[in-house]
Structure 1
Amino acid sequence: MTGFVSLNGPDNSGKSTQVRMLTSSWEGFYDLGPVHRHDPVPWARVSGQDYAAWWFTTSTTEELTDMLFAGHAKRAGALPPGRIGLLDRGWYMLLATAIATCAVKESLPVEGAWHRVRALVGTEEPEPRETPVLLLPSPDTERSIAIARRRDHSPWAGTYLDYQRHLHRVLLRMAHQDVFAEVVSDARLDADETHVRIRRALLVRGIGSPANR
């Protein structure tokens, strides 16, 4: 048995927490972590600079998109046989990240950035295939951002806030296209309740252990 489950969502939406909870709830899951862990050389090169300036100003859309998806491919190749790989930000999240960054960097509307990045990626669906779950603080962009900002210890402003608005819009567009196996967007749910929702959605698809519901 092999395959991938991805946890996706904007900053402070609970992705890493749910990855940890899934890993501890069933031994069939294997936490593969973020893409930079599997392709450290290019990421180490840019992290030594002003990372935010590199991300939003000095890097090109081509460079950033290539780094994100090259790391994704190497991460997929690290999955041990017979396990379900857990991805902290999967293919759709990386796509949304690249689109939102492109929109900010090149002053493009989301639609223009969407077509530009999709042309660079060159495929319409995840490679390899994955079961994606989306976590959003709220289905309303501004309320979702307000909730996420309260969870952070540093203010969101300027370019970064603009990026987060674009990112939320792209993720909501993807949700409306039904690309996610489950969308959890109720801020009233705590981590345990969110975990139950995710596990139930995965069990419907034959992923996980019914004994641990």
Structure 2
Amino acid sequence: MQKVSFSGLDHSGKSQQIRMLVHDSPQLFHVTKPLTEYSQRWPKLEGPEMSRWWFETVSVEELTDIIIESLNRRNEDQYEGKITVLDRGWRMFKAVCVATWLTIEKVEIQEATAETTRRFLTKLDYEPSEFEILLVPNAKYLRSVEPARCLLSSDVNVFPQRMRQRYARYQTYLQEAVKDCFASPPPRRIEVDAPILEIQNRARTLLNDAYDLQLPHIGDTALMVVGFGGLSECGKSSFAEHLRVHHGFYRLKLRYFIECVESRGEKATPERVAMELLHFFQRHYYVQHFSIESLHDPYIPAFLKLMLGKRFKIVYLDVDKETRCRRAALELGVDSSVACAIVEGKDHTKLDRGANTVCQIADVVFDNSSESLRDNLGRFESLLF
């Protein structure tokens, strides 16, 4: 039975690439469960408690045996007629064992590798055969997208400093172990030096060549996507309408895609909402330019930036409160005090969601306070195109 494994250092995007791969081709692939679901010897722990068990409670020998037992059972998890997709291949888990050994014990990598290899040879009850894809992080690229990555990191403040320092050591050892464990035969390497969609399409090209598939590249037709953020009455709709009329942009409302996800009983995570948008782009392949209103928090735009890269432009329209109240009064035909109350109410909701923090990751922060819309749009075009 054919098996494809995605391996790489932590946070290199393995699981994400697998979800994206099977999203539009579930009939072709069977994705196995997390390794911890293949043995009852795994504790039901998360976060700091799991870290404590992994590095302080269980012995390295026992941990390695649990991993091998789980790999044996995972190997039986197959679906007739489908390609089995593994989140981390057997060599990746071997590297995990070596790195854990180095983190806990004062041994050389040769000793840790030799002991891990001995246990794998003795206890792994199948002959591994995987089409291995190794995701290799590019440090320069990852630094360039660090603001967006940090926004989406859920465990920054969960672990105490001691555990974070230990995890950093583990990652250093894991990098060495991966280099050693994947030395021969070499896997198919994909350097993570581009947005998520680009990495996905490279993986699809490898799989098409290996299995004579016809997986389409995704997201290629959306050449430019502009997302508008800002507080109430800052001009988001006016700017989006200008792009539609004068530059052929297709206007989208972000709330619609959030509701699409929620209508399935799912939580509207940044990744799920982004995938819903991507599905729309795919179905409207003949449209090359889109605008999105409104970016009410920084998390969805951060993920879209990671997914689309430079094709996604985050625009934050900055307008002082007095001007926004005056515009609301004119638009609604009410006096200034009523308009200010309406603006403040809307602002309160948006600020609770973090709408004002979108400016921290924006490609363009535009001062739209001037009363001349024509002049403002002219200046805006010169910055955007």
Normalization by structure 2: what TM-score? 0.48
Alignment of 1:163-174 (within 5 A): 163-174=170-181
- For 1:192 and 1:170, the matched residues in 2 are separated by 28
- For 1:11 and 1:148, the matched residues in 2 are separated by 16
The change in CA–CA distance for 1:10 and 1:44 in structure 2 (over 3 A counts) is same
Match of 1:206 among 211, 216, 221: 211
- For 1:149 and 1:52, the matched residues in 2 are separated by 24
Size of the alignment, in residue pairs? Answer: 205
The change in CA–CA distance for 1:158 and 1:60 in structure 2 (over 3 A counts) is same
The letter of the residue matching 1:20 is R
Displacement of 1:61 in angstroms is 1.8
1:117 is paired with a residue whose SS is: helix
2:164 is matched with which residue?
A: 157
Alignment of 1:1-213 (within 5 A): 2-26=1-25, 27-39=27-39, 41-44=40-43, 50-122=49-121, 127-138=127-138, 151=149, 153=153, 154=156, 157-180=164-187, 182-187=188-193, 189-206=194-211, 209-213=213-217
The change in CA–CA distance for 1:30 and 1:17 in structure 2 (over 3 A counts) is same
Q: Identity over the aligned pairs, expressed in percent?
A: 27
The letter of the residue matching 2:58 is S
The change in CA–CA distance for 1:184 and 1:9 in structure 2 (over 3 A counts) is same
Displacement of 1:58 in angstroms is 2.2
* Conserved 8 A contact 1:104-1:162: yes
The change in CA–CA distance for 1:147 and 1:120 in structure 2 (over 3 A counts) is farther
* Conserved 8 A contact 2:208-2:215: no
The letter of the residue matching 2:171 is Q
Please, which runs of 5 or more residues in structure 2 have no aligned partner?
Answer: 158-162, 218-385
* Conserved 8 A contact 1:32-1:88: yes
- For 1:135 and 1:74, the matched residues in 2 are separated by 25
- For 1:84 and 1:128, the matched residues in 2 are separated by 15
Residue deviations 1:172-192, cap 9 Å, x none? 234443431x211232x1111
Displacement of 1:49 in angstroms is 9.0
- For 2:143 and 2:65, the matched residues in 1 are separated by 31
* Conserved 8 A contact 1:11-1:148: no
* Conserved 8 A contact 1:137-1:147: no
2:137 is paired with a residue whose SS is: coil
Structure 1 outlier segments of 4+, above 6 Å: 143-150
- For 2:73 and 2:141, the matched residues in 1 are separated by 32
Please, which runs of 5 or more residues in structure 1 have no aligned partner?
Answer: none
Which stretch of the first structure deviates more once superposed, 75-84 or 167-176?
Answer: 167-176
* Conserved 8 A contact 2:95-2:174: yes
Displacement of 1:46 in angstroms is 6.2
Normalization by structure 1: what TM-score? 0.83
The change in CA–CA distance for 1:149 and 1:62 in structure 2 (over 3 A counts) is farther
- For 1:133 and 1:184, the matched residues in 2 are separated by 7
- For 1:201 and 1:25, the matched residues in 2 are separated by 17
Give the aligned CA root-mean-square deviation in angstroms: 2.9
* Conserved 8 A contact 1:28-1:84: yes
- For 1:210 and 1:103, the matched residues in 2 are separated by 43
